[in-house]
Amino acid sequence: MKCYMAFLAHETNSFSPIPTDLSSFEEAGIYRPSLGPPGQHLSLLKGVADFHAEAQRRGDEAVVGLCAIAQPSLPCLRRDYEALRDEMLAGLRAAMPVDMVLLMLHGSMMAQGYDDCEGDVLARVREIVGSDVPVGVLLDLHCNITPAMVANATAIKACKEYPHTDFAERARELYAIIAATAEGKVRPVTQFARVPMLGLFQTTREPMRSFVDGLIDREREPGVLSITLAHGFPWSDFPGAGAGVLAITDGDPDKARSLAESIGRQFFALRETAQVPLRDVASAIDDALRCKSGTVVIADMSDNPGGGAPSDSTFLLRALLERKVRDAVVGLVWDPVAVRIAFSAGEGARIPMRIGGKLGPSSGLPLDVEATVLHLRTDAAQPHIADGYPVELGRTAVVDVDGIAIVLNEIRQQPFHPGAFSAAGVDPWQKRIVVVKSSFHFYAGFAERAAAIIYCDAPGALNSDVRQRPYRRLARPIWPLDDISM
């Protein structure tokens, strides 16, 4: 069988201070067929590498088109979104006829003039391939599902785990559904039930762990092809934002409907308990200092670039300095200007520096400090949480300010792994406190060795207080903005 596969993804935060254009995708690395065989560029394929591996295992013909992803930020510049979309569609047109299409999309991509990029892409894909070719879509679980997406895809799945450690498994499952559809062995029928709630729901802890395990059990029931819990992406300001359940059965719309609705009600019932308890800045530091041995990890969730935050906020760092905490490391702080100055000064130099606080009010005020340049690296990278391929950090500079090591870098991203720190020159496990600018993805790499993990709700772009977000277009009512029942 011949399969066209491609990847266009962005998690759009309507309130981010960071713009999104073609250079945002180029920074992460774009795969184009003109670069050569996809097998020689697996790190650029991102999730499509899993589709590609499955095609090879099955002996199918894989035609890989555009693969492009950018860090979360504002809606994409219209011209650049349309250019990337059209490049992806041109690849499909050139590959026709195909037996099946597999796409990785994010599920919360917006562009100027487009609230629902995935719905737009899928409508155009359907127009090209016609009604008979199955189209499978793999999403991040922080996806907002829209009618246009459901109407034009044959099957949509998202990852089930947060942190997202299961993309490879979900890619294989989706491939199996779409291949079986192409062979006429199954007839997927999808029903979607919206769940009017906003939040972040970590699946490594209860009650979410058992809830997700329960979904996996129910997928084994006869006639059920897939169940996806879409957590929603709360920072996309449009009427489709929020959680939901996608149930896919083999030709049974009533069963799919009742599954989606009942699971949706069960998820809604968990809304008060499914999010991690958060600490403000002062209590997070108090808790960390109470821990007398080992390394405590504080997650600076509000400044997670993986949700569209700038990753240069100073609220936690300033508090650590004011309380004269020593033996801590903070990263990754996205500050290309500070990196440049550190490189000019050289390792060992002691210089005045302005650190962080540059992107706007959500970053806090910049810190003016005397810093010692400890380590400068041009080749630092960390393994990606989903596929393990190295992700370049850009140039990195570790500077010491009164006993706190600050890891500055040039390519905005969250630390998925302790390797993000060690690659820059500082071993996080030698420190008493590690502050990671990440919400949950760090967990996969840090949890095993951390003496404790503290989730900090500092001020910042991703602060958990939904009432502070200037929503203009969200569909109401929705929890927790409105007191509703379901």
Quote the least distance from Cβ 84 to Zn ion, whole Å. Answer: 20
| Helical (H) or strand (E) element with 287 | helix 281-290
The b/e string for 64-76 (b: 16+ C-beta within 10 A; e otherwise) is: bbbbbbbbbbbbb
* Nearer to Zn ion among residue 65 and residue 163 (C-beta): 163
- Rounded distance between C-alpha atoms, residue 455 and residue 463, angstroms: 12
Instruction: Decide whether 4 or 416 has the Cβ nearer to Zn ion.
Output: 416
CB of 347 to Zn ion, least distance (A): 36
Rounded CA separation 196/179 (Å) = 33
Q: C-beta of 106: minimal distance to Zn ion in Å? A: 8
Return the number of the residue (142 or 157) whose C-beta is nearest Zn ion: 142
Closer Cβ to Zn ion, 439 or 463, answer by number: 439
Least distance between Zn ion and beta carbon 389 (Å): 18
Contacts of 91 by beta carbon, 8 Å cutoff, 6+ apart: 4, 6, 33, 63, 65, 66
Beta-sheet pairing, 188-195 with 224-230: unpaired
Using rule CB under 5 A, residue 160 touches Zn ion: no
Q: Identify residue 69 by its one-letter amino acid code.
A: I
- The distance of closest approach from Cβ of residue 72 to Zn ion in the complex, given in angstroms and rounded to an integer, is 9
How many residues bind to Zn ion according to rule CB under 5 A?
2
Label residue 453 exposed, middle or buried (CB < 10 Å: 0-12, 13-18, 19+): middle
Placement of tokens 């927790």 in the chain: 480
Q: Which is nearer to Zn ion, 238 or 315 (CB)?
A: 238
Nearer to Zn ion, 115 or 166 (CB): 166
Distance of closest approach, residue 160 Cβ to Zn ion, in angstroms: 11
In this complex, which beta carbon is closest to Zn ion, that of residue 163 or of residue 459?
Answer: 163
Distance of CA 293 to the CA centre of its chain: 32
- The minimum distance between CB 127 and Zn ion, in angstroms, equals 29
Residue with Cβ nearer Zn ion (181 or 439) = 439
Sequence-ordered list of residues with C-beta below 8 angstroms from that of 456, at least 6 positions apart, any chain: 278, 279, 280, 281, 284, 298, 299, 300, 301, 302, 316
* CA–CA dist 158, 153 (Å, integer): 13
Segment 194-253, which members bind Zn ion (CB under 5 A)?
Answer: none
For the chain, the distance separating the N- and C-terminal CA atoms, rounded to the nearest angstrom, is: 44
Closest to Zn ion by CB, 144 vs 146, is 144
Which CB, 142 or 469, lies closer to Zn ion?
142
* Residue 92 C-beta: closest distance to Zn ion, Å: 26
Nearest distance, CB of residue 164 and Zn ion, angstroms: 6
Other beta carbons within 10 Å of 387 = 16
Min CB(462)–Zn ion separation in Å: 12
Burial-class residue 337 by CB neighbours within 10 Å (0-12, 13-18, 19+).
Answer: middle
Nearest residue relative to Zn ion (C-beta): 142
Which tokens is 53 given? 């591996």
- x-marked contacts with Zn ion along 121-150 as a string, rule CB under 5 A: -------------------x-x--------
In whole angstroms, give the CA distance from residue 414 to residue 302. Answer: 12
Residue showing tokens 């390519």? 411
Residue 107's nearest CA partner among 99, 120, 116 is 116
Query: Where along the sequence are the contacts to Zn ion (CB under 5 A)?
Result: 140, 142
